[in-house]
Structure 1
Amino acid sequence: MQVRLNSNVHVIDTSVILLRKAVYEDMVTVPEVLEEVRDESSRLYLEVIDLRVEEAREEFIKRVRRAAEATGDVYKLSETDMKLIAKALELGAVIVTDDYAIQNVAKKLGLRFEEIIQRGIEKEFKWIRVCRGCGRKTRYEICEVCGSETRLKRVVKR
């Protein structure tokens, strides 16, 4: 399914608020982002910016989860992150974040993203689990062959 992009709407991550970079005309976030903002000055900043707060719809969260599983970012994304991407997908919006896992899944879903301070990702990548003992690829935290712990390894897609 093709995503219809709306470059006027920006879905913002917590870091946009913490860094005082909310400079977009039409900004949206999810309620979970507000829960992550705890310091007093950032709470005051929230009161002066024009920010819509909307729940992410379950059908879009499921699509994001499937994309995150495909890229392996499911191991790195929080529920808040997945809901942010889902809201951007639902609105066809630009997502504003420095989080590489969010950017990677957004790219997989055909969404645009803007970085805040860090340079954004240039290529899509995938995370795989590799056993520390025998070197096999697996989906589990403990290798089902030798019982060793696994680690995440990034593979750049060509």
Structure 2
Amino acid sequence: MTTYILDASAIQSGFEALGFSEDLFSTPSVIEEVRNKFLAYNLSLAVSLDKIKLEIPAENYINHVSETARKSGDRLSDNDIGLIALALKRKSAGRVRIVTDDYGIQNVSSLLGIDFLPMGTEGIKEIIEWVYYCPACFKKHSPSIDICDVCGTKIKRKKRA
């Protein structure tokens, strides 16, 4: 049996958990991202009926995902990292797929050997490593920098060659 880890984008794209027979998981912080009242109601109903189980991943999984994202140059939110960390934890028990349209989540998941299932997009075609640089002075920067500390220009990113 496959375990599905749900991102907010999956829920907002129409993923219907109530009629689903597979194991469904998410994190409490992802659930809080759903803003549509109708979807939020259906989601809370699915959680209360135990169709979707909420779980917080352990710190060691979060650290591993954070390090992988840092190395690839992907900028992920804490919620995104937690979601992938949960999938990484569940992966030890069998097949896991993250249901998401977020390309950053798909990229880091692929690097960690976790399958993904896009809902409203085609999904990524290849794993990408990003390089962050200043287009004015060409200094390379970390993904956490938005403005070049040398010349003050907004940082851009490009695919590593």
Q: TM-score range by the shorter chain?
A: 0.7 to 0.9
**Would you say the 8 A contact 1:133–1:148 is kept in 2?**
no
CA distance in 2, matches of 1:79, 1:52: 19
2:134 aligned partner:
131
Residues 103/149 of structure 1: CA separation in 2 closer, same or farther (3 Å cut): same
1:28 aligned partner:
25
Give the aligned residue type for 1:83. G
Residues 143/16 of structure 1: CA separation in 2 closer, same or farther (3 Å cut): closer
Using the aligned pairs only, state the percent identity. 32
Deviation >3 Å, runs of 4+: 140-144
> TM-score w.r.t. structure 2 length?
0.83
**SS, match of residue 125 in structure 1:** coil
**Would you say the 8 A contact 1:9–1:94 is kept in 2?**
yes
TM-superposed deviation, 1:35: 1.1
Unaligned residue ranges in structure 2 (runs of 5+): none
1:78 aligned partner:
77
**Would you say the 8 A contact 2:148–2:155 is kept in 1?**
no
CA distance in 1, matches of 2:148, 2:8: 35
Unaligned residue ranges in structure 1 (runs of 5+): 1-6
> Which of the numbers 30, 34, 38 marks the counterpart of 2:35?
38
> TM-score w.r.t. structure 1 length?
0.85
Query: What RMSD over aligned residues (CA atoms) do the two structures have, in Å?
Result: 1.8
Count of aligned pairs: 148
Give the aligned residue type for 1:8. T
2:88 aligned partner:
89
CA distance in 2, matches of 1:152, 1:110: 28
> Which of the numbers 101, 107, 112 marks the counterpart of 2:110?
107
TM-superposed deviation, 1:156: 5.4
Residues 156/21 of structure 1: CA separation in 2 closer, same or farther (3 Å cut): farther
